[in-house]
Structure 1
Amino acid sequence: MADARSWWRDPPSPEPSQDVPAFESNPLEESALPSPDNEQLLTRRVHILGLGSIGTLVAHSLRCLPNPPPITLMIHRQEQYDAFKRGGRIINLINKQNGINDEQTGYDVDLFNNNAEDGEARWDFIPDRRREQPQTNPVEEGEKMPSGELYIYTLIVAVKGPTTVAALHSVKHRVDARTTICFMQNGLGQIDELNQEVFTDPQTRPTYMLGIVSHGAYMDAPCTVVHAGYGAIALGICRDPDRFPLPPKGPVRHLWELSEDERKKHHPTDKELFANLSSRYLLRTLTRSPVLACAAFPYLDLLQLQLEKLSANCILNPLTALLDVPNGALLNNKELLPVQRLLLAEISLVIRGLPELEGIPNVQHRFSAKRLEQLFMGVTKRTARNSSSMREDIRHGKKPEIDYINGYIVKRGEQQGIKCALNFMLMQLIKGKNSLRSGAGLPYGTTRIQSEVDPHRLDSVTLADNSTPPRDSIA
């Protein structure tokens, strides 16, 4: 029996009597980035796609900067733009701790037009203009395309995972290799889908930046976000596997044994990953905001932070959604503890076998089931009063992001020959529950099950927590 269960046990520790060590990721030094040169920015404009809690928080925070960049809000629905216009084209940020509401204006809008005269989907640019005054953000030379749309130089994407491919299909003709797209989303795997379905050519593919968000925020009304818990955003460049493939299987070779071409191809430096001027501009713009508290991390450190966050979300999100309970209900529950540990053991096995992490010191202990359980418990305690984003998605009839959370573990497990039966079952249960709540599969005449949640309730917070949040983050 012991041999049959050995697959989910932790790797042996050289000092089993001691606690699992902590692992810190150090921010990227400024010297690791390319030095300023004679390159000229095409435009300072920043586009934001996805005006949920995180997208709205970022839009507000960037307008608070001294000499803020022009910001264009990309809106897919006419009714959402109408609500923005009725509210005076204002974004409100409410500080939950003191109740202060800060208003920011000066936003341009791109409104999606699916019925353009030529039959092609287009974005209508609606500049911010006050009465007889000139445009708040004049269009710079070189921004305007023949279609009348503006070229997208830097883009922040904060849409839900399931809508990522469709959303970026609509802007594909407005980006190229000079563009940088920063993803601030839950889960992993969206970029793989984009490379397969949208940006298929590595030569014209934009640079991808990732943002791991630990702020607590939720929407109180259209264009009004409540900042419920101060956190931080870890930023870094995503390594493109087509441009920089992993080293081939074989004996490990030291860097000094490789030719310069081999080194650049398989072991790019962060300076090389940040070669795109728009990436450095977007990074420096985001890190100027004291509210967002952004910091850049080396690629491999950022990847490990992502996987730590993912491991906690794989337990917290689906279990709270299935049981319809706040996060804290998972604490001190003896019946749920074996379920949590079995899931974490399966997740640990997959992460420790990822080829991206091969050769990194202490990976086996950093992602051991024991340490992942410590991270999960810490996140759950800090967010005990909050409602997970997946629970709220199901309550409001939105498609849950399960394919990019537990589904990512299932996919990466299959690539290694690991059958993740527990994560697969949890993924299907979430999809089944969402299908039932939307009315699919119910007998004829049965009405859709209505949500009991009050969208304005203050304890319904969507918190994208990080494994190492600041001490001031909310509990």
Structure 2
Amino acid sequence: MHVHVLGVGALGTLVATHLRASVRQRLMPVSRSRASRWLVPQHVAPYLPDPVRTSLTLHMRDRPMKMQAQAPGSQALRLSVERDGVSITEQGFQLELVSPVDPAQPRLLVPDADGVLHEAPGVPPAPIDSLILSTKADATLAALRPLVTRITPATTVIVLQNGMGVLDQLIERLWPQPEHRPHFILASTTHGCYLKRPLHTVHAGFGALYLGVVPGTHGAVERPLPSSSNTMDPELDLAAIPDSPATYSLRTTLALLLSLPLDVHWERIRMFQLRALRKLIVNACINPTTALVDCKNGELFGASSALELFRALCTEASQVLEAHARDAKAAQTSSEADVAHLSSLPLADLLTQTDADGLPLLDASLQPASMLHEVENVVRATAANWSSMHQDIRSRRGRTEIDFINGYLGELGRAYGIPTPANDLLTHLVKLKAQRTTGSWHGPSM
């Protein structure tokens, strides 16, 4: 099983470090790893890949050893996660160094028994079994293009990013033909983390990681475990995924992620959609505001001006998403429905209520009052965290993910004729601030 990670930022480092620790612990003698083995759910363990045959490859543009504070002469690639002042560090990763001249021909470095990396010349790029996509949303398409020829319909791609619209973009630009598409797992997290330095992430707030399998050619896979079939939010059964080469990576990737000590849940795609859209609205409130005000998340709590801004943002988002869901419901009976679009996800299922006139209404959890309450809860829960958008501004990256968060809501609003002035204003202000940090904000004179 060859697992690749594209995008080793705060979240990519968090997941890659725990994946490597999980594989390493399963290589230990039972007597030394028994405690960690007990943490793997019983319904997950049978589907984990052979740890001896499992590799974890990181994709980077620059040689990371130059960025690490290590002893002179050390060539081991180490990733660290720090929580409550205590760090765990893992090595043993393979590394693909991407050349800007020929991105499709990376240099492969493999670790020896001590974790020291050595170049493997002449080894052709191998097919990718599983790819964790944790780049910034605005950089995804360019970063993924060089890998497309190594991704097959049997590959599983995990989209672990902020915002919405990335999957639409990938399907439209890279895999317009359904039969050529890989399996997609969408991932959303409430873990709070930020980079202290390259390859060292601070796990500032413990949360959960949620997974949803995008409907595809693999058939129905959302079968509850018998032990939880009567619950409102049942655990899903990995055994429902067909036992075939075409779906091996899908089942194995889910098992790997479910084995991590990050409170991981695989849920029905409808439940995942609700959760992802709630997170979109939360991010639309917190991320641009902290980036513009230059503060941690918790500093927004109790600020009356922030509360009024959040109220306006939640109202706009709810109106736009309701129109979007109604459009998806209408498309279900239309011969013009675009099956290549993300509308193949159950957006119409978000309409769970009706008004006095019988018109469908958005799920209660996406209504403005409910969303405003959730934003306040997240501000409190992640009080010590710096938002990812604030980190982009502070690091002078020159751009942010705003187009996939507030910009996404604004684009939907324009498509349905719904004004989104608060989201549009924040989009422009964040772009202006991002450009100013790099001195590129001076356009043509007016």
TM-score (norm 2): 0.73
Unaligned segments of structure 2, at least 5 residues: 28-50, 220-238, 329-345, 354-361
Corresponding position of 1:222: 198
Q: Assess if the C-alpha contact under 8 Å between 2:17 and 2:90 holds in 1.
A: yes
Corresponding position of 1:10: none
* Range that drifts further, 304-313 or 68-77: 68-77
Equivalent-residue separation in structure 2 for 1:165 and 1:410 (angstroms): 21
Equivalent-residue separation in structure 1 for 2:437 and 2:67 (angstroms): 28
Alpha-carbon shift at residue 402 of structure 1 (Å): 0.3
Q: Structure 1's 112 and 401: CA in aligned 2 closer, same or farther, altered over 3 A?
A: same
Q: Assess if the C-alpha contact under 8 Å between 1:47 and 1:156 holds in 2.
A: yes
Q: Assess if the C-alpha contact under 8 Å between 1:109 and 1:127 holds in 2.
A: yes
Counting only pairs closer than 5 Å after superposition, residues 353-368 of structure 1 correspond to structure 2 as 353=323, 354=325, 355=328, 356-360=346-350, 361-362=352-353, 363-368=362-367
* Range that drifts further, 219-228 or 270-279: 270-279
Q: Assess if the C-alpha contact under 8 Å between 1:168 and 1:198 holds in 2.
A: no
Equivalent-residue separation in structure 2 for 1:70 and 1:421 (angstroms): 48
Equivalent-residue separation in structure 2 for 1:215 and 1:96 (angstroms): 12
Equivalent-residue separation in structure 1 for 2:408 and 2:191 (angstroms): 23
Q: Assess if the C-alpha contact under 8 Å between 2:65 and 2:77 holds in 1.
A: no
Q: Assess if the C-alpha contact under 8 Å between 1:172 and 1:199 holds in 2.
A: no
Corresponding position of 1:285: 256
Q: Assess if the C-alpha contact under 8 Å between 2:76 and 2:116 holds in 1.
A: no
Unaligned segments of structure 1, at least 5 residues: 1-43, 140-145, 245-269, 445-475
Q: Structure 1's 213 and 87: CA in aligned 2 closer, same or farther, altered over 3 A?
A: farther
* 1:50 has 2:2 as partner: no
Q: Assess if the C-alpha contact under 8 Å between 1:81 and 1:111 holds in 2.
A: no
SS at match of 1:289: coil
Equivalent-residue separation in structure 2 for 1:222 and 1:337 (angstroms): 34
- Greater RCO, 1 or 2 (C-alpha within 8 Å, sep 6+): 1
SS at match of 1:106: coil
What do residues 164-196 of structure 1 show as CA deviations (whole Å, max 9, x unaligned)? Answer: 000100111111111111011111111111122
Equivalent-residue separation in structure 2 for 1:103 and 1:331 (angstroms): 34
Corresponding position of 1:405: 405
Number of aligned positions between the proteins:
361
Q: Structure 1's 50 and 238: CA in aligned 2 closer, same or farther, altered over 3 A?
A: same
More helix by share: 2
Counting only pairs closer than 5 Å after superposition, residues 319-334 of structure 1 correspond to structure 2 as 319-334=289-304
RMSD of aligned Cα (Å): 3.1
Equivalent-residue separation in structure 2 for 1:338 and 1:227 (angstroms): 30
* Range that drifts further, 164-173 or 56-65: 56-65
The aligned amino acid for 1:55 is: G
Equivalent-residue separation in structure 2 for 1:83 and 1:338 (angstroms): 42
Alpha-carbon shift at residue 243 of structure 1 (Å): 10
Counting only pairs closer than 5 Å after superposition, residues 386-465 of structure 1 correspond to structure 2 as 386-398=385-397, 399-442=399-442
* 1:299 has 2:269 as partner: yes
Counting only pairs closer than 5 Å after superposition, residues 102-113 of structure 1 correspond to structure 2 as 102-113=88-99
One of 97, 100, 108 as aligned partner of 2:86: 100
Question: Identity of aligned pairs, percent?
Answer: 29
Q: Assess if the C-alpha contact under 8 Å between 1:90 and 1:103 holds in 2.
A: no
* 1:127 has 2:110 as partner: yes
Corresponding position of 1:191: 167
Alpha-carbon shift at residue 92 of structure 1 (Å): 4.1
Equivalent-residue separation in structure 2 for 1:344 and 1:110 (angstroms): 42
Equivalent-residue separation in structure 1 for 2:259 and 2:247 (angstroms): 19
Equivalent-residue separation in structure 2 for 1:301 and 1:231 (angstroms): 17
SS at match of 2:141: helix
Counting only pairs closer than 5 Å after superposition, residues 226-305 of structure 1 correspond to structure 2 as 226-239=202-215, 276-290=247-261, 292-305=262-275
